Amino acid sequence: MFSTNFEASTLLDLVRQQDLGSAWLHPIGYAIRNALTQGVPIDNIVLLLLLPLVAAVIAASRHLIGLRGFGIFLPAALSAVFVATGPVVGIGLFLVIVSVSTFSRMLLRRLRVKLQYLPRMALILLVVVLAVLAILFVGPQFFGRRELAEVSIFPVLILVLLAEDFTRAQLGKSIRIAASLTVETLILALFSFVFLSLSALQEFALLNPEIYLLIVLGLDLFLGTYSGLRLLEIWRFRKLIRN
């Protein structure tokens, strides 16, 4: 199970105390309450509700600010990893996996080992997995981080997927561009993690899912029609704009 750090008991109490009224006006609210009755974990429901907003925030960062990153899925998934593991452990594993994948690629090039793309990625994945296993084995004992012993397999798999995208970016572009995309992905993930951690936002999405989803829909439609300059572009061409 992909466990999170949401305040499940508090959210459950709020849902149970809520007067939903007409099922025609609150169909999603009734569906959520029924799912909870059937045993669906409330933290999973909250996470799924907030992911569309996280995707909209990442899209806004691209279209309004100019941050790129590795698409939408990986920053959103990485933010969920930070919720599950905590930002310190999540960023630590993130940096280790990216560093190991980069070192493995450079070592293969240094040794002039010529492999096709998929076998090369499989070899890099092998090294990354060994590195993560080493951290999980020695981390709790030597670094005193008990969180490492409790990390679920799913956050680790998401981080490994990010290593593949990082390596693919290195192969298709350059280490500098790949590093820039990785840093931007980390920034987007941390920014999204802040949204996922807001208790007020969790409560609003859970208690007013219809209104919340309509707001996200409106934000997506606005972003889809926006064609103005991004903030980073305004900063980059500020001298030309002034003239």
Question: What are the tens digits of pLDDT across the range 40-74?
Answer: 888 888 888 999 999 999 988 888 887 877 778 88
Domain ranges in the chain are 58-221
In this prediction, residue 56 carries a pLDDT of 92
Nearest to 75 by CA among 95, 92, 55: 55
Q: What is the dihedral of CA 128, 82, 7, 23, to 10 degrees?
A: -100
Residue 227 is given by DSSP the state: -
Please give the average per-residue pLDDT across 65-91, as a whole number: 82
In this prediction, residue 2 carries a pLDDT of 45
pLDDT at 239 over 90: no
Buried (b) or exposed (e) across 206-228, using 16+ Cβ within 10 A? bbbbeebeeebeebbeeeeeeee
Q: Give the C-alpha separation, 53 to 213, whole Å.
A: 8
Nearest to 150 by CA among 40, 48, 44, 1: 1
pLDDT at 243 over 70: no
Who wins on pLDDT, 226 or 78? 78
pLDDT at 168 over 80: no
Look up residue 37 and give its amino acid: T
Count H helices and E strands in the chain, helices first. Answer: 13, 0
pTM of the predicted protein model: 0.78
